[in-house]
Amino acid sequence: MTSTPPVLQELPDEHPPAPPPAAPDRPSGWAALQPVLLRLHFYAGVLVGPFLLVAATTGLLYAFTPQLEAVVHRHELTVDAVGTTPLPLADQVAAARAEHPEGTVTQVQPAASPDGTTRVVLASEDVPAGRDLTVFVDPYTAEVRGALSTFAGFLPVRATLDDLHRNLLLGEPGRVYSELAASWLWVVVLGGVAMWVARSARRGRWRRLVVPERGRAGRRRTLSWHGVVGIVAALGLLALSVTGLTWSARAGANVGELRAAWGWSTAYVDTTLPGAASGEHDAHAAHGGGTDGTDDGAADDVDAVLTAGVGVDGVLATARAEGLREPVRLTPPAEAGQAWAAAESGEGWPSRADSVAVDGADGSVVDRVDFADQSVPAKLAHWGIQAHMGSLFGLANQLLLAGLALALITLVVLGYRMWWQRRPTRRASGPGPWLRPGALRAAPRWLAALLLVAAAAVGWVVPLFGVPLLVFLAVDALLSARARRRTAAG
């Protein structure tokens, strides 16, 4: 009897091959966005912080220029004794021209207060390029109180502090610093606010949004104060960033083009006289000739336009009759066929920025633009610029600007202090908040794509945001590559 050989059964492998590793889950939502914001906040804080610090310090000085001007230029701005009746404006201008016959008159600003002086602005070669020569005249005696080099109506004190704030007294190349600060301030503020709110929500301690933690020490205490100051000042700092960009060299030009394309530009009076294009209007009478039509040589006199027709006093009377309030600026026509322009200063609240074009021949109004008729974006731009300069709400506006400047200085100083408290000599993970490099690469594709498209759009409008952002991304990519090499070597 033969036996059947046993069937050999395959024994299970004691060491089965490991399944392929599953792809790591990509974080979603805030979990993916937070590392990107934190890393960007850190880079911007460290590298752009010095520019923000300088802009805040110079802005703090600029906020109180009205008080400084009143002290430094008191002799030019005020009269020794207030008289009963001012002299005709033409006599005041003539006194200024007798003292300073050089150049041509480009603007006349009648005294805006009983103790104030009249300003006669001249385009002169005796002052630096881009500046004017402003002559100050006592409206009661026609005494010339002095002459100063001015910039866009700014007296030397304000002009110097304005240059310091805009370009560090370096001219056009220096404007890169202020535009870089304005281009990144809103990014730093929004990122900081988002992370601080998320931190408070995660811990369920909403009170800590605006109340610093007590009894803490070290970096945690510094972080608490940094977050609270940032939350309190966030809206004001965002407003400073936006308004600062509106007249920056590069971003401001792009914003201006967008406003023009969308019909949001500020409207100005048209000073073209009726019939000037076809030659029907008596351009000679409007631009320095006599009213009788004879050529008495006045056309060769650069000041003849100031007395031709109704003259500067007639233009001022028309402006006042039209409801324009002091201070008002009168701009004579620059060429034949043009009218005078009379405009309110635009400072203060409610805004006084109405303007009219006046025919110098007979004092009639040929065009008018009221601030109330401006588009909403144009009004917002006007209000924003005046608020940024501290002239919208007077002293309250100045104090608000000073508070925002001090808040920004505090934020930058506390930010560097937090970096120092986590400096490389104290932590093996390196300076600043340790995050695995490549946070953007690890985010969901939709979020990464959205961030890149938004960054490209903003970077096109605001070049000094886009260029540094590329630098930050390059640095992060290099750090990510180094981290991967170290991980592979380990």
**Which residue, 99, 127, 154, sits at the end of a domain?**
154
Q: For residues 484 and 236, give the distance between their C-alpha atoms in angstroms, rounded to a whole number.
A: 41
Quote the pLDDT of residue 431. 45
Same domain, 149 and 79: yes
Q: To the nearest whole number, what is the mean pLDDT of the chain?
A: 84
pLDDT at 23 (0 to 100): 47
Q: Please, are residues 41 and 196 in contact by the beta-carbon 8 Å criterion?
A: no
The percent of residues in the chain predicted with pLDDT above 70, rounded, is: 84
Cβ neighbors of 401 (< 8 A, separation 6 or more) are 59, 60, 63, 388, 390
CA separation for the pair 439, 41 (Å, rounded): 13
State percent of the chain over pLDDT 90.
57
Using the structure block, give the residue that is written with the tokens 């995660």.
202
Answer whether 360's CB lies under 8 Å from 305's CB: yes
pLDDT at 319 over 60: yes
CA distance 282 to 167: 46
Let me know if residue 381 belongs to a domain.
Answer: no
296 vs 335, more confident:
335
Determine, yes or no, domain membership for 439. yes
Domain count for the chain:
3
Residue 59 lies in a domain: no
Q: Round to whole Å and give the CA distance between 303 and 100.
A: 12
Q: Assess whether 339 and 196 both reside in one domain.
A: no
At 453-489, the pLDDT tens digits run: 998 899 999 999 998 888 887 877 787 777 778 778 8
pLDDT given at position 52: 95
For residues 354 and 401, membership in a common domain is answered with: no
* Residue 363 lies in domain: 304-373
Burial of 146 (0-12, 13-18, 19+ CB in 10 A): middle
Residue type for position 190 = L
Tens of pLDDT along 6-23? 444 444 444 445 555 444
How many Å apart are CA 65 and CA 153, to the nearest integer? 13
What is the per-residue pLDDT across 20-30, written as a single tens digit (0 to 9) for each? 544 455 555 67
Q: What is the pLDDT of residues 61-97, one digit of tens each?
A: 999 999 999 999 999 999 999 999 999 999 999 999 9
Q: What is the DSSP string of 45-87?
A: HHHHHHHHHHHHHHHHHHTTHHHHHHHHTHHHHB-SS--SSPP
CATH code, 341: 3.10.450
* Structure confidence by residue, pLDDT tens digits, 393-426: 999 999 999 999 999 999 999 999 988 887 755 5
In a domain, 142, yes or no: yes
Does the pLDDT of residue 307 top 60, yes or no?
yes
- Tell if the pTM clears 0.85, that is, is over it: no
Whether residues 136 and 179 share a domain: the answer is no
- In angstroms, the CA 232 to CA 211 distance is 10
DSSP annotation of 303 reads T
**Interatomic CA distance for residues 268 and 262, integer angstroms:** 17
CA dihedral 80, 85, 89, 91 (to 10 degrees): -80
Q: What is the pLDDT of residue 476?
A: 73
